[in-house]
Homo-oligomer: A and B are copies of this chain.
């Protein structure tokens, strides 16, 4: 080990623990539960999962893998390819892994991101045998300094029998001081989450660990994993404009100030377009209380649009990964990373009253939302934190293009093929067509407005016909013809398009 660890391992109780990734991987036994750091590809260990996957290519064993959220090619993908995962919890986003899950080759529990720490604490996911945590440093006080995400690492470290630290010697030193680590007591023995504003600090800068539990320290030089950059296109720009128009209306009505309310946004092209669009908006001094910070956040701070951001992870493009150390130094007093149990806690979201916008797969005419399953059966990524926010936000918004697959899919359907968010939790739907504010509306009123304002014109007639026929032939509070509710989905399957009575030749 020729690397100088001075300044990186600063507590002598951790000295002499450096091992190879292969050795650490050799400790893992069939059936073990692993709690791994990582969230939207940031802050995950890389050398350990690669070594474990390599071992898996030669040996027959499986583990249960629990994380913060989605891991990248070195972890989720390599482990899925090696076939060494029995059960994955609570969120994933890797195409190879998704394929294995949908093929029934591995199991997956799709969980609210605020729930996993609680489930671990209650023992519902079994004992955590090993926590494997990527770190930027170990402090004099023996705190593990996480890298680009916090996720569920604190609860994994607390509950694990053994801890493996993957020390990333190339991680920006400026990560130190970014994090605010607070772990809740058990239910029934805790008081409130003592956080009353977006920028508050309530914990420590790193994760407490008993050095005796640290089985080994792996050294890594693998950099943070960049995500694709989503530049706005005409469609996402129009969706963003419609969302901003809705928010302008709230300000004009005196329901929101120009600083809005703490903002939570999902990840991806639409979210990026909205945040980008805010630069030219009237909104200033916004606080962000979200899960993930994307590229745009630093520009928004520079522009005076955002004054502070709280999250649990980065999801950054190559350009921002390269300048991360510099950015962290510059924005240190504007950004804080918390455990996902805190960023996504119902208590916090309800107290602060976030404005939350997330992207669905499809929305039905009554406002129920499918965030996870294509055609009801094949899971995409998972519900993530969308439920934590949707249920408890001040304003819950879902944003999507009205069409997919070149027009053969309408994202507005009579009955969603899987329900993740119910009509009770949805306030506003936004597409490139417009927005439907369904607050204070009864079901049939909601349906009329969603079809009128959000559905693509090429689908409006058949959606209206479904609603009219349902009212006419079945009636009730939420009229549905159960024998026709999924006709658009079955037509897509059989004929390649949701346009009823049409057939697309493939």
Contact = CB atoms under 8 A, between A and B. Distances in A.
A490 interface: yes
Given A103-B475, A376-B480, A478-B373, A351 B486 contact: no
A125 interface: yes
Interface in A125-165: 125-126
A339 B118 CA distance: 27
B346 A187 contact: no
B424 A353 contact: no
Given A255-B123, A352-B188, A471-B104, A379 B478 contact: yes
Nearest to A375: B482
Copies of this chain held together in the complex: 2
A478 B191 CA distance: 38
A482 B188 contact: no
Interface residues of A, number: 81
A317 to B, nearest CB: 30
A10 interface: no
A491 to B, nearest CB: 10
Interface string A376-398: 11110001000100011010000
A112 interface: yes
Given A261-B187, A419-B422, A424-B111, A477 B350 contact: no
Nearest to A394: B187
Given A188-B352, A379-B478, A482-B486, A109 B346 contact: no
Interface majority SS (helix, strand, loop, mixed), chain A:
loop
Given A478-B376, A483-B486, A368 B419 contact: yes
A373 to B, nearest CB: 6
A377 B478 contact: yes
Contacts of A423: 110
A379 to B, nearest CB: 4
24 contacts: A101-B477, A104-B444, A104-B471, A107-B445, A115-B424, A119-B439, A124-B440, A186-B353, A187-B352, A191-B196, A345-B350, A346-B347, A346-B350, A376-B478, A376-B480, A376-B485, A378-B475, A379-B476, A387-B422, A419-B419, A483-B486, A483-B490, A485-B486, A486-B486
Interface of A: 87, 101-104, 107-112, 115, 118-119, 122-126, 186-188, 190-194, 196, 255, 261-262, 345-347, 350-353, 368, 373, 375-379, 383, 387, 391-392, 394, 417-425, 439-442, 444-445, 470-471, 474-480, 482-483, 485-486, 489-490, 493
